[in-house]
Amino acid sequence: MGQEISKEKGPTMANGGVRTIADIKSNVTPIWCPGCGDFGVLSALYRAILAMDLDLKNTVIVSGIGCSGRLPIFTKCYGFHGVHGRVLPTATGVKLANPKLTVIAVGGDGDGLAIGGGHFPHAAKRNVDITYIMMDNSVYGLTKGQGSPTTSSDFHLKSLPYGVREVNLNPVALALAYNVSYVARAYSGQIEQMTQLYTDAIRHKGFSFVHSISPCTVFNDTYKYYRERVAGIPKEHDPADKKAALDLWQTRGKVYLGLFYRDLREDLSSQVARLSSGLKAAGGATMEDLLDEFV
């Protein structure tokens, strides 16, 4: 699942120096609550960027609303803090405007599955070459603890003392149903694996989705819950077998971590480039020609 990750330093740079995580961090200090799982997501993302030696000037992190929305500002990458639920169309626009960019979208479970839920299947259908990290704490933490689309009936929140009466959504199940071309799950309590999955997802040519369990220590502390349930996907699992992947997410009593499914098919940017090349060969106007008319 990709190359082994170095925790301390990245590849040697052209000037002979060695880039470290300190070179990726901005001068803005994260203000998440102590113990928040989002720190784990940020740490794993730092390590993935380091291991891949990504050019920070050609890497864009797009975020939505909520605690996760703050993440881009903690890096030296370009960032775009969008409106509620619009992280995927925004990231799609960035990638189409400049296909050479590495585009990473981050958002919470509420941002992605409530108001933004309608954008998820369309990003999957188009197979946009972006990586979508859904930071799932199963609660609306920024607005003081209401139930979110992924809140399970097992959880008793401060604002829901009698539990949740609705059946929760399962992000991995939705991603598989939408035919996302790369589907994985990571957990903030296991940074090494999370880093490997982020690295693998960013390398994937197409729409990659990593459901990232990121507990909220204030309104929905699920660390104990997941410690008792998380397990690695069995080594014999074939990521090309979607039926087997569907069986895994339905296993009761376990929350599997790792790569569920991968499908290598043409991504949207490649489709656009191919069509544009065909039009140019036929003497028609390309996308660039049309854009030039408005510059």
Residue-wise pLDDT for 115-152, tens only, equals: 888 999 999 999 999 999 999 998 888 777 788 888 88
Q: What is the pLDDT of residue 194?
A: 98
Q: Nearest Cα to 122, choosing from 102, 84, 93? A: 93
pLDDT at 41 over 80: yes
Q: What is the pLDDT of residue 55?
A: 95
**DSSP strand pairing (255-262 vs 131-136):** unpaired
Residue-wise pLDDT for 218-267, tens only, equals: 988 889 999 999 999 999 999 999 999 999 998 888 999 999 999 999 99
Residue-wise pLDDT for 60-113, tens only, equals: 999 998 889 999 999 999 999 988 889 999 999 999 999 999 999 999 998 999
Determine the 3-state secondary structure of 41 from DSSP: helix
Mean pLDDT of the residues in the chain: 88
21-264 carries CATH number 3.40.50.300: no
- The domain spans of the chain are 21-264, 266-295
Q: What is the pLDDT of residue 175?
A: 97
Distances from the Cα of 174 to the Cα of 130, 183, 289, angstroms: 18, 10, 38
